[in-house]
Every structure is written in C-alpha cells, then in structure tokens.
Amino acid sequence: MNDHGLYRIRLFLDGKWCNILIDDRFPCHLDRSLKVIKTASKAKTKWYEVIERPPEQIEPKRPDEDDDVRFIPFPQYCRSKSGSVLWAMLIEKAYAKYLGCYEALEGGHVHTALVDLTGGFSQIYSLRDDVELVASGALWNKLKEYANKNALLAAGSPARDVEGNETEEDGVMSMDENGIIHGHAYAIVKVTEEHDYSGHHQLLQLRDPWGVAQWSGAWSRYDNKRWTRRMQKRLNYRPEGGDIQGSSRFLPPWSRKNRNSRDLDNGVSEKAKEEQDNNEEGTFWISLNDFVRHFKWLYGCQLFNKDEWIHHSVEGAWIGQTAGGPPNQADARFNPQFTLKFEPAAKSSGNNNILLFISITNLTSTEEIVMRERRLEESENDSTNSSEDGFGNEKQAIKQINYNRTYPFMSLLLLDIGGKALDSHLVASQVVASTGKFKDTRELSLETKLPRTTDKTYTLFPSLYPKGEEGRFLINVYSSVPFNLQRLTTHP
C-alpha cells in the first residue's frame, strides 16, 4: 500500500516502456457493498459476501482491529475476493487512463496483454485451424519448449455457439458440458508427462483466473480412476483440496447462473474455506487430447536473454503512395521494405541453423483508432465484407465492420528474393515464412529456422490491406546469430 495513494505503473505499450501515474481511487457501486467475513478469529485473510445494500461510511482501521462485520464499498470493475490484492485494480486503472476510459477496456487479446506486462515476444496458435500442428505431435513439443524456457502460457476457450454473442440473451455467461467457461482465458501453469500402470500421460495444469473452474472430465477432481496414489504423489495433487467452489459470488451478476448449462455454484462451504491453501482456486489438470478438444487458442509469450539472442528493431509507416497494399497489387513495390543479412558462420561453429523470431506491432494511436472507427461507421452501408490471405487474394466474405475492430488488416512476409526490394508480383516459392493471412490485430509474429549460409540475404515485407490504408508499425527481430537489419530504398 502507498500512504500517498499514488502509484506508477510500468507497461510496455506501442513498442516501448511507459510509466503511467495513477491514484488509488476506484469506481464503486452505490447500491451494493461487500460484507466483511473472517474465516476464523485469528485469520488474516478476509472473505467478502456481496450484499444488495449501500456501503457504510467507515473510518480506516488496522486489519487486526477490524473484528466487526462491516459493509464496505464494492468496486465496479476488477476486484480481489480477499480484499488484500490491489495490483490488478491498479493495472486496470492504468490501462483505462492510457486508453481514455474504462469502457475502452472491454474485450482484448491474451497475447497482447502478455506483451504489455512483460515486453516479451508473443505467439498465438489456432488449435482448430492448424491441423498439422496438432496431428503431427508438434503441439506437445511446442508446449514443452515453452515450459523449458519458463515462458508464459495461456489458453482460450471457444465462444458459445450463439449468433453474434458468446452469452445468452439475458447476458448470462455459460459453460460447456465439462465445466469450461465459453469465450474465456485460462492460464497454463504446468506442462508435464508421466507414466503409470495405465500408460503414458501428457498433462497440462490450467487455472481459471476467476477461480470458479469446475472441470469434470478426465483428470478432474472427481476422477478417482486416474488419480492413483502414484499420480497424486508425482504431481503433488490432493483431490480433496481441489477447486474451491462458490467463487462465483465475486463475479459480475450476469455470470452467476445459466439456464441451459451448468450453474456456477453460489455457496462457499466451510470445508472449502479451510482447504483454500491446499490447491489454488480454479486450478485443474487436463489431458492434451481434452485440451485440444475443449480449447481453441494457445498463447505463448517468451523473454529473450540478451546474452544469448541478438535483437534489432526498426520503425516504419505506410503513408501516401507507400501504402501500396498487399504484394499482389501493382503499387506494392512502394511499401516499406527491409533487408535482413546474417553474419557468416565461423568454420569451427557446429551450429548450421539460424533460429529467427520476428514480430510486427501496429503503432496506431488511440486518436487514430477513434477516427478510423468513425470513418467505418460512416461507410458501413457501402462496405463489402471480405478477407484476404497473405498475398492479398480475396477469400470468403467474413469481414464485419463493428466497434471491436480497432486495427487495420496487417501482414508480414519474410522473402527470399536476394535481399532486394519486391518490384513485381510475388510468387509462393519466394515466401520463406509469414504471419499468415491478413489480420486486424495489434501484433503478429512468426518463427522460423533458416540454414546458415554465407551468401543469403532476406527481405522483410510488411503490408496493410486494402491498398491506401495508412498506419505506423514496429518490427522486432530476434536471432540466434548476429545480423544486420536495414531499410531498403523504394521509389514512389
């Protein structure tokens, strides 16, 4: 806690670290309050119950002196169940100040949030679309690789199959038949594999940030068959101290029940309170097969050791004629382009490969986003729904104009064209790696492995769709070997 009520929050925004100064005043409900409950006479942790009554005017007290039941202000947005955790509310307020208001915080993406908090390199994988990644076994290898690097991992569940919204008509958040909340983000805490008499097991430990996960499939707290004594000991797991139910009372009102799916339990049992230290709330184990079946997205964010990786970055912009559009457009040759040349390998070096990670960040400011949304609103009736692949070829009509789209469609290609600027239509054989089809997101990334030769130079080709769309960008390149990154000359 800060006696002066002032905090400096450091976030990685628009490609650089930013210090945001805020106070400790938070929006609260006027007609609801939190009733303070202690779990025991000497308990340090308080528990709260939401009460439909206005808060009291209270004087500050030391925690040890607070023995009376009180009704304290109920925060409007992010809040802690124990009342002793403030950092999440502070970060939320810093975001709101940076973006202009709390309303701007609705929605978001896990991988960009991880970058904001760490300044790391994020990647996102579609478990439904990338069939080869799942079927080949590469997904498990990628998960173990991330775990060995101590990278941050998260997963996203698919939205409920309701047209236009992941919630029901009355705004109630739903869960699937096995207790996974629709359209929700989960942290991946552990990735491990074990053996027992029944075979080999590839397992992930997940945690629901809301603390209400009630996974009921294989390896759940109810699965006595798989949770043998050996597996409990190897994974340090105690089913009797599993997920604490009843945390839903601390969620927004719309998320507490569900007519068509499993209800979120409203009661906190005394036994659950006593066992809170055995296992973290909302934590559960799940097999890799069930993970792929019940989740849609995998998010990873890793930090690169400066002693082991070479890093260079470059900024650029698509303005006027340099906003040439996708590589299949005649004016694409005017787009900003960059050459990537690696230093030759030493003769004694046994490393014949280059590990390469590249990200591109859209640096569009908040003001530019607002202006773009106004233009989109004005032209909505005249706009056509379309989608483009990495070459700018039109695909099936899936693009929709709405207020959730805040960034132009962006793509980044790594080309093998002799390190020169692209001056004609691109062919598929020239593409070494790409961020995939054009996506309207803040950040895209790619990862590839290149042969280490003495005469190879590559070209980075960033672009926006459609032609004429303007914006600014930042490219970050991380390599396992030294390299040079330079801007190529184009002639508008």
DSSP calls for 279-337: S-TTEEEEEHHHHHHH--EEEEEE---TTT-EEEEEEEEE-GGG---STTSGGGGGS--
User: Nearest-CA neighbor of 173 among 263, 103, 241?
Assistant: 263
Buried b / exposed e over 304-318, threshold 16 CB at 10 Å, is beeeebbebeeebeb
Give the span between the Cα atoms of 467 and 330, in whole angstroms: 10
CA contacts within 13 A on the Cβ side of 189: 14
Residue 138, beta-bridge partner list: none
Contact 51, 32 (CB under 8 A): yes
Single-letter residue type at 62: R
Tell me which residue of 433, 446, 452, 423 sits closest to 341, measured CA to CA.
452
d(CA 212, CA 255): 11
Which one is catalytic: 184, 201, 311, 312? Answer: 184
What is the distance between the alpha carbons of residues 368 and 470, in angstroms, rounded to a whole number? 10
> Is residue 270 exposed (0-12), middle (13-18) or buried (19+ Cβ within 10 Å)?
exposed
Active-site residue, 184 included:
yes
* Helix, strand, or coil (residue 433): strand
Nearest partner of 45 among 99, 81, 18, judged by Cα: 81
- Paired tokens of 275: 């066992």
Active-site residue set: 184
